[in-house]
Amino acid sequence: MHITAVLAIGVEDAPIPPLLLYPGKNLLHEWVAVHDPVPNLTATVTNKGYSNQYMTYWWLVNCFDPYTAPRTRRGRERRLIILDGCDVHHSVRFYEACWERNIDLLYLPHNLSSVFQPLDVDFNLPLKRYYDQEVKDFQWALQPSRASKGHFYRWFQKAWKGTAKTHVIMAAWRKAGLWPVDKEVMRALTPPPPAAIDPAILQTPQSVKASRQLARSVRQQQVDPTEAFHKLGKAFETEVARGAVTAAELEKIRAQQEVDKAVRGGGKRTKFPLGVVFDQRYRETHAAELADWGRAERARNEKKAADAAREKVLARSKGKDKQKTP
């Protein structure tokens, strides 16, 4: 089960209630029945519990604007939303709704939300700790029971209450370098110097793990692709040679097994009486005659077995007749 929590904080507090997105077609009352008066949460459903462009627009109109507009002077002061580069945050409908309400948008650089977004820098971690503690308390008290969607609302509300405090929020903005603005944090945009390459990575890979590590180094631009291709080519040649040697050894083993099987034989053994000489050439030149003799011998043996079985059946029937005679 996947449930999305849409969160937003100000520079000193968190006036906007979190929006919980449950998977489903209808929001059941049992999912939100158990809760405290404060803090306030909002909840709705989407097909799979994930956010989308429509929910981003809905959150702006029904959550952000109503809870932040009273803080402005007659709604004339401009407001700012800082967002990451997620696709659901980009739509014409969302832009137009922001312009109509004097709301400015600031998008963080891609793949840098962990550096600049206060929620990711130093807010979500204590939130997760509070939430994990609620889950642990539930498991400790009701270990055989299974959690439901209604438990999530209660757990998240208590976790949000314990986390959304002024000192935690201000620390998150300060560590992100956005408020107050910290130029030292902005230096994170400068790419770090290339890390020292492990000499073992440049060797011809001798395992799947080493090959994947070499490919990862190419993607991270730590190793020249041409040199990596050369190393992988050597590894391929080595494996082909090993495969050829293994195939030859297996062929030898298979040949020896066939000889051993023929020597040990199977089924009825052929006996040569004393004085009879085995001549391979004779067997080759008289193969058809010997085959006819073999078939005739097998036919005689089958006839003997059938006659013996028939005699047993007759003997059993005679014995039953004697028992019936008074």
Taking only the tens place, the pLDDT of each residue in 98-107 is: 999 999 999 9
DSSP state, 286?
A: T
For residue 44, give the nearest of 60, 17, 25 by alpha carbon. Answer: 25
pLDDT of residue 274: 59
Mean of pLDDT over the chain: 85
Cα 268 to Cα 156, 264, 271, distances in angstroms = 80, 12, 9
For tokens 């968190």, the residue is 14
pTM: 0.58
* 125-154 residue pLDDT tens: 999 999 999 999 998 888 777 888 999 999
Residue 304 pLDDT > 60, yes or no? yes
Sheet containing 4-6: give its strands across.
4-6, 19-23, 42-46
β-pairing verdict for 103-107 and 19-23: unpaired
- 215 CB burial (10 A radius; 0-12, 13-18, 19+): middle
Most confident of 57-61, 190-194, 247-251: 57-61
What is the reported pLDDT for 161?
96
Token pair in block for residue 167: 């000192």
Q: How confident is the model at residue 189 (pLDDT cuts 50, 70, 90)?
A: low
Q: Provide φ and ψ at 285, rounded to 5°.
A: -80, -25
DSSP codes of every residue in 240-267: HHHHHHHHHHHHHHHHHHHHHHHHH--S
